[in-house]
Amino acid sequence: MSSIKKLAYSGLSASLCAVILIVTGYTYYGGVASALMGGIIVLCFSYMTGRRYALMSFLAGGLIALFLCPEKSGVLLYLCITGYYPVVRDKIMKNGSMVRRIIIKILIFVVLSIIFTLLYVLMIGIPSLIYNDNYITVYVIFFCICIVSFVIYDGFLKLFDIRYKNKIISTIKMFMK
C-alpha cells in the first residue's frame, strides 16, 4: 500500500476517533466507552497502515478531541491508556514468556494509570481525593479495580484480534482494493 493511502487511512482513523470521543463525551460513562472504542478503531487501522501511521492517527485524534470535547476524562483515558495500547500490545505479545508479558502489561498499565490520575487531578481538580485521611486506601482499591478492568479489556482485545485477523480483515481488504 502506498504511503498516500496509508496517510489517508490514518486521517480517517483520527477523525473517526475524534468524532466518537467528542459525541459520546457528553456523559461520564460515554467518555469511558468512547475511549475503549477509539482503541479498537486504532487497532483495526493499524493492521492496514502499520504501527507508525496508527500511532500518528491515535495522537492526532486524541489531540483534536482534547481541544473540542467538553468532558476530558474519556479523552485523557484514551490518550494515556486505551488509545495506543492495542498497537503496542502486538509488540508486547512477541516478547518472551507469558509471565514476562503479563508483568510488562501490568507495569505499563500501572505507570500510565498514575499519570492519568495525576493529569485528571491537575486538569479537573479533585482536592477531596488528595486531602482525604484514607486516600491511600482509596487509591489502592481503585487501582486493584482498574487492574482487573484492564485484564478484562486485554482479554477482549485478544478475542477481537483473533476474530478480526481471521474473518473481518479479508473482507475489508477486498473492498479497499
pLDDT of residue 54: 87
Mean pLDDT of 60-65: 89
Residue 66 grid coordinates? 482534547
Domains and CATH numbers, the chain: 3-176 (1.10.1760)
Over range 158-169, report the average pLDDT: 82
pLDDT in tens, 77-93: 888 888 888 888 888 88
What is the pLDDT, as a whole number, of residue 135? 64
Share of the chain above pLDDT 70, in %: 88
Cell of 60: 492526532
The predicted-structure confidence for 142-155, as pLDDT tens digits, reads as follows: 778 878 888 888 88
DSSP 23-54: HGGGSHHHHHHHHHHHHHHHHHHHHHH-HHHH
Give buried/exposed letters for 45-58 (b at 16+ CB in 10 A, else e): bbbbbbeebbbbbb
Measured CA distances, 14 to 21, 23, 31, 34, 168 (Å):
11, 14, 16, 13, 21
CB 36, CB 82: distance < 8 Å: yes
